[in-house]
Structure 1
Amino acid sequence: MDIILVPGFWLDASSWSDVTPPLVAAGHRVHPLTLPGLESKDAPRAGIGLRDHIDAVVAAVDALEEPVVLVGHSGGGAIIHGAVDARPDRVARAVYVDSGPLGEGGVINDELPAEGDEVPLPPWEGFEDADLTDLNDELRAAFRERAIPEPRLVTSDRQQLHDERRYNVPATVIACEFPSSLLIEWMESGHPFVAELARIHDVDYVDLPTGHWPQFTRPAELGVAILAAVDRASKNGQN
């Protein structure tokens, strides 16, 4: 199975490096992406928006012959959902890592402090305690060293969706900050945060208790969780 890995804000393809070994060992082909504007700390970011990131994922899907599994972390969840909407017949499963699908008209996070055309990684004080669970001083220093400013428009552009067949694509949510039981409770109560997720017909939940960056705090366990989701897609006859 081809697995396309989409990082969240401030991260490039290398952020998945400790997650992919179990996927590769199982014989799968991994395609971690570096999205436009995230190529380096000095890369130009002006004019790069959410649609550019979605289009980059769609191009990666189109470059492969077989159906794929899309994996999106954090803001990458909104991006892979846009790709699912664009290619619902090419995605065997969407995997949301401490994230979820972003519905029509939503924005990923337009409250992050911007500097011109980019949004640098904020100080740790700008995050909730739950975000930082298990992210010790060493991991924080390594993350800040590798962090690349996010194109500002990606954080604030509105999601545009067109194909309701996206709801037929199976999904897996790997819940880290919030337990899956809470997500289900929110859906049952009609919470707008999970409104788009509630419309997907087939959703599995996996609890991986840690902070917002499991690829750093629990990478081996995250790899195993993604592998289980990929195996489910394979058993459904997509390989």
Structure 2
Amino acid sequence: MTTTTSNPAIVLIAGHWLGAWAWDEVLEHLTASHSVAVTLPGLDGDDPHRAAKTLDDQVAAVLEVFARLGVSEGQPAVIVAHSGANFPVSLVLDRHPGLVQRVVWVDSGPVSAGSAFAPDFPDGVEGLPLPSFDVLAQQASLEGLSAEALERFRARAVPQLGPVLRQPVELMNDARRKVRTTLVCCSIPGAQVMELARAGHAVFAEVANIEHLDVVDLPTGHWPMWSRPGDLAEAIQSAASRLS
């Protein structure tokens, strides 16, 4: 497969509990023929060895997809990371910034060095199941999700692995901050995200260190791939076509 910097491969990675299936509706709207959604190791419910997977395994899986697509420093990819996919994708940016032409954070953003999603998640607990939607709605906006989307979410969700939740990320390469970046802000407006970043809020602080940043507002809930799939695809396609 041949890609160019003006027509890059697009690799989509969803957040917690989700596999490649979460992007099905978005992929229907993306015009690029080399757009690929990824199920990270540990989030394939049919994998009998999934409990042993780590963030490093997830990074390796992304790099395997890059290799299959012919991604190189001469032909870098656009990587799209939703929600909790920010941990493995931040590691990809740190270790291989030259392979990424642009990162698109979907209601998400880069993580800070040394951070872990849930450092106190109990040892010995294999994973975090999808909570009830009443509980989930207290943590993230469900705005725009139909009953059908929620039913599919419940039916297909895979528990998020405890080791992945607990593992802190080691980030050492400042070149990750030079990768062109688009924030697609959904449940929190972009202006508020930037205000929190400048204030040093733990979740958003790393955003303030990005050198080339675009902010796009797409008002909806935390899962825009289901609530506004066409608009999200348009935002991704627009970001992928930007060379500056």
Give the TM-score of the pair, scaled to structure 2.
0.88
- Is residue 199–residue 205 contact of structure 2 (8 Å, CA) maintained in 1? no
- Is residue 3–residue 70 contact of structure 1 (8 Å, CA) maintained in 2? yes
CA RMSD of aligned residues (A): 2.0
Cross-structure match for 2:160: 150
* Residues 1:29 and 2:34 are matched in the alignment: yes
* Residues 1:97 and 2:106 are matched in the alignment: yes
* Residues 1:14 and 2:37 are matched in the alignment: no
Aligned equivalents of 2:174, 2:201: Cα separation in 1 = 20
**Residues 218, 121 of structure 1: CA spacing in aligned structure 2 closer, same or farther, 3 A cutoff?**
same
Q: 54-63 or 10-19: which moved more? A: 54-63
- SS of 1:20's equivalent in the other structure is helix
- Is residue 71–residue 96 contact of structure 1 (8 Å, CA) maintained in 2? yes
Shift of 1:21: 2.6
Cross-structure match for 2:57: 52
Cross-structure match for 1:108: 117
Q: Deviations over 1:61-108 (max 9, x none)?
A: 244232100101111122211111111111100010011111111112
Aligned equivalents of 1:169, 1:103: Cα separation in 2 = 15
**Residues 116, 189 of structure 1: CA spacing in aligned structure 2 closer, same or farther, 3 A cutoff?**
closer
Gaps of 5+ in 2: 1-7
- Is residue 78–residue 100 contact of structure 1 (8 Å, CA) maintained in 2? no
Gaps of 5+ in 1: none
- SS of 1:81's equivalent in the other structure is helix
- Is residue 118–residue 151 contact of structure 1 (8 Å, CA) maintained in 2? yes
Q: 2:96 aligns with which of 84, 87, 111?
A: 87
Query: Mapping of 1:1-239 within 5 angstroms?
Result: 1-23=8-30, 25=31, 27-40=32-45, 43-63=48-68, 64-65=70-71, 66-110=75-119, 116-129=125-138, 130-232=140-242, 235-236=243-244
Q: 219-228 or 122-131: which moved more? A: 122-131
Moved segments of 4+, more than 4 Å: 110-115
- Is residue 44–residue 50 contact of structure 2 (8 Å, CA) maintained in 1? no
Shift of 1:124: 1.1
Shift of 1:112: 6.9
Aligned equivalents of 2:54, 2:233: Cα separation in 1 = 29
Aligned length: 232
**Residues 190, 37 of structure 1: CA spacing in aligned structure 2 closer, same or farther, 3 A cutoff?**
closer
Aligned equivalents of 1:115, 1:125: Cα separation in 2 = 26
